[in-house]
A and B are shown apart, each in its own frame.
Chain A
Amino acid sequence: MADRVRVRAMMPPGHVRTPAYLRGKTGIIERSLGDYPNPEQLAYRQRAEPRALYRVRFSMAEIWGAAAENPDDTLDAEIFAHWLEPLES
């Protein structure tokens, strides 16, 4: 996975663990967490494939734009690889 990533801006139905407020936002990989069963399958008792999970760090400026309280504060969230699009750094 690249250092810089963008969260895919898709809106599939179902049990998704990617918060809507981060979709389409660009961040950096803070750390790699290993593989975990895909919650989008697990929630429906389907065979859940292991998927790579990452902690991604976003600046508040990236998430909230001019409305950010302090643009340099940050937010980290756990995002599965299939929600991340690698970017050129």
Chain B
Amino acid sequence: MPHDHTDHLSPSGHPFRPDNDAPLTYWQVMEIAIRELLIVKGITTAADIAAQIDAMDARSPADGAKVVARAWTDPAFKARLLANGSAASREMGFDIGSLRLIVVENTPHIHNVIVCTLCSCYPRNLLGLPPDWYKTRAYRSRVVREPRKVLAEFGLVLPDSIRIRVHDSTADMRYIVLPARPAGTEELSEADLADLVTRDAMIGTGLPKAAA
């Protein structure tokens, strides 16, 4: 038959994903109730909340990549960035709010990697929302105990001559890694360099892309 479809496969032959019809959880109901109360009481508006969500969605690892590329091309900026990550990011025009940023630098002998074992602290105001794996118990519990094995699973195998520094964001600071500038990029512009800087390179679970 031309329309020989089954109940569980889409016309393109993929299984249908179940509808998301589960009842709201306790915390979802609580969030909606508080949000509606704040609006009814005139403390905030629906438009303010939508604008804040848009502002968060607009942030992406591209912002952090621009900071890294500037540090690669401007030694004075790099010094300011390592001394005070928040001030240097603001200097580039990024609205990072109250983010207290510490930038940790990879060298030929040191590789840095970031985690938040207690929850999922992440420099959202500079890198946008964290990847789902960053929030998993598996990443959070394993990267402090067997960072080399975890990095290898990301495709990053480091020799023993490179010391790993794991940074656990346990309190008020947030972290990004300043990766090493890839070899053979002397001729690249700052914008082209930023294209080499991946999100994972700034978390420390990867390295920047090689020059094309």
Q: In the complex, are the beta carbons of B172 and A73 less than 8 A apart?
A: no
Chain A contacts of B146 at CB under 8 A?
Answer: 69
Q: How many residues of A contact B (CB 8 A)?
A: 23
Q: How many residues of B contact A (CB 8 A)?
A: 21
Chain A contacts of B118 at CB under 8 A?
Answer: 17, 19
Q: In the complex, are the beta carbons of B117 and A19 less than 8 A apart?
A: yes
Q: In the complex, are the beta carbons of A18 and B166 less than 8 A apart?
A: no
Within 8 A of B (CB), among A12-48: 17-19, 21, 33, 36, 39
Instruction: Tell me which of B160, B164, B168 contacts A19 (CB under 8 A).
Output: B168
Q: In the complex, are the beta carbons of A70 and B168 less than 8 A apart?
A: no
B148 in the interface (beta carbon within 8 A): yes
Q: Tell me the smallest distance from the CB of B101 to a CB of chain A, in Å.
A: 12
Q: Tell me the smallest distance from the CB of B153 to a CB of chain A, in Å.
A: 13
Chain A contacts of B164 at CB under 8 A?
Answer: 70, 73-74
Chain A contacts of B165 at CB under 8 A?
Answer: 73-76
Q: In the complex, are the beta carbons of B173 and A78 less than 8 A apart?
A: yes
CA distance A79 to B149 in the complex (A): 26
* Closest residue of B by beta carbon distance from A54: B171
Q: In the complex, are the beta carbons of A69 and B147 less than 8 A apart?
A: yes
B residues near A (Cβ < 8 Å) are 102, 117-118, 144-149, 160, 163-173
A–B Cβ pairs within 8 angstroms, 29 of them = A17-B170, A17-B171, A18-B170, A19-B117, A19-B170, A21-B117, A33-B173, A36-B172, A55-B102, A64-B145, A69-B145, A69-B147, A69-B149, A70-B160, A70-B163, A70-B164, A73-B164, A73-B166, A75-B144, A75-B167, A75-B168, A76-B166, A76-B167, A77-B168, A78-B168, A78-B170, A79-B170, A79-B171, A80-B171
